[in-house]
Structure 1
Amino acid sequence: MSVQVPKSVFTFFKKLEKNNNRDWFNEHKPEFKAAEKEVKEVYNAVLENLNKHDEIDKLKLFRIYRDVRFSKNKLPYKTHFGGSFHRTKPRLRGGYYLHLQPNDESFIATGFWQPEKEDLMRIRKEFEMDDSEIRDILANKDFNAVWSDSFIGDEVKSAPRGFAKDHPAIDLIKKKQYIFTKKYTDKDVLNPNFIKEIDDAFKAIRPFFDYMSDVLTTDLNGVSLIE
């Protein structure tokens, strides 16, 4: 029997949305633990699929408890499951993320969430020098069949220090994140083919990952930075 996302996961979170407090959660913790166990099987199935065509060194399933210390939102629990898949460094860069949330709020994301300062500068300098290869990837028909209009990420308002505001690649250079996202309805997520569908989407991102990994493991002269 193939693994799939159980409806009970969304049922639990919908109830938690209306009862986001410690007393209710503690009373229903066995229900949460049962849902968590099934979801772990889903994330492990995604990991297994990824490792058939990529190299993942770590799966991290995030805890349901919110860190409310510096947040205006003091609700103690998340109303979703989230898990990230880290590619094997230093040779491979980037990562994958799966977010499961009811009310059609589920999505997958892939790319570079918080590039280190040195990596971000290396990416920007590459685009400043030559943006033709990344443009070709973003314009590719097969790539766009999956990831069209899904390239997002925070940006600086004008141009990073040291870069010209009128540079032809300023739309790429001013980004602080390089992320692709794809949303799914509850019906999509509960479909038996969901795990395969998101794996197909993750496969389609590889030209971008291959390019970015090459950039981040070489200097501007193309000399390898790793042994």
Structure 2
Amino acid sequence: MIQQPTLDFLSDLEDNNNRDWFMANKSRYDTARENVIEFTDRLIKLMHKIDPALSPDLEGKKCVMRIYRDIRFSKNKTPYKNNFGISLPTTGTKLGGAEYYLHLQPGKSFIAGGYWMPEANHLKAIRQEIDYNAHDLKAIIDAPEFVKLFGNFTNQEKLKSLPRDYAADNENIELIKLKSFIVMHNLADREIKSPKAAETIAGLCSKIYPLNVFLRNAIN
């Protein structure tokens, strides 16, 4: 489970996002990061049972993203993220493709999955798969439990114009116009601090798993 001091550190970091404060509290960061890594190791073991494409040899420390922000092209020059991001890829240790993502932030944690902003050739393949086999995708995203957990799948960023080679009267055009194919579910602080937090999150990922399979099949 995620410890309260981990959340406290993130809250304090949000209020003191500067190098002097961070260096003075480096030991708190190290302890918080170790908590997140240990939690991720536990989650990986559970997740492999749900999605065999997620390697059981994946190390938690390689899944926890850097807390240092890339400020080179950003107007926001605060040097640190105020969250821990955890990427659980299903195609080895590299990011990209259909995966799972856990975001830990006081009051704003969530679990997500799917494929965010696919590269051009993958996007083309996914759209083609939807055009050919939309029934399979709809069976996943229109299931009552899926909608209850993740909302309306088409309520995410779309093209304003029609994709090349697709007509406006295509019955699946709202799915085909999507730029990303992701879902997310918010997590309360009490849920991530629970002794059963890893099991709860893995259970939610089990509902995302069929979507990831559909997306992986489309690009493979």
Distance 1:150 1:6, change over 3 A: farther
Match of 2:90 in 1: 87
In 2, Cα distance between equivalents of 1:112 and 1:152: 15
The equivalent position to 1:129 in structure 2, one of 109, 129, 132, is 132
Contact 1:65-1:76 at 8 Å conserved across structures:
yes
> Map of 1:66-215 to 2, 5 A cutoff?
66-88=69-91, 94-102=98-106, 104-149=107-152, 153-215=156-218
More helix by share: 2
User: Which has the higher mean CA deviation after the structures are superposed, 184-193 or 79-88?
Assistant: 184-193
Shift of 1:158: 2.5
Match of 1:63 in 2: 66
- Once residues 190 and 206 of structure 2 are traced to their aligned partners in structure 1, the CA distance between those partners, rounded to angstroms, is 22
Change (3 A) 1:150 1:161: closer
| Secondary structure at 2:63 match in 1 | strand
Question: How far did 1:119 drift?
Answer: 1.2
For the aligned residues, what is the CA RMSD?
1.8
User: 64-73 or 159-168, which moves further after superposition?
Assistant: 159-168
Tell me the CA shift for residue 203 of structure 1.
0.9
Contact kept in structure 2, 1:61 and 1:83, CA below 8 Å: yes
Residue identity (%): 34
Shift of 1:151: 5.9
Q: In 2, are the aligned partners of 1:151 and 1:179 still within 8 Å (CA)?
A: no
- Comparing 48-57 and 17-26, the one that deviates more: 48-57
Secondary structure in structure 2 of the residue aligned to 1:17: helix
Aligned mates of 2:202, 2:6 — CA distance in 1: 21
1:142 CA drift (Å): 4.4
Q: What SS is found at the alignment partner of 1:52?
A: helix
Aligned-residue offset at 1:145: 4.8
> Which segment is superposed worse, 67-76 or 116-125?
116-125
CA displacement at 1:152 relative to structure 2: 5.1
TM-score (norm 1): 0.85
Stretches of structure 2 that go unaligned for 5 or more consecutive residues are none
Q: Deviations over 1:123-154 (max 9, x none)?
A: 11222234222112222244345334366542
- After TM superposition, list the pairs within 5 Å mapping 1:17-32 onto structure 2: 17-32=14-29
Q: State the alpha-carbon separation in 2 of the partners of residues 52 and 125 from structure 1.
A: 30
**Residue matched to 1:34:** 31
Matched residue of 1:154: which SS? Answer: coil
Distance 1:28 1:10 in 2: 14
Query: What is the one-letter code of the residue matched to 1:105?
Result: K
Larger radius of gyration: 1
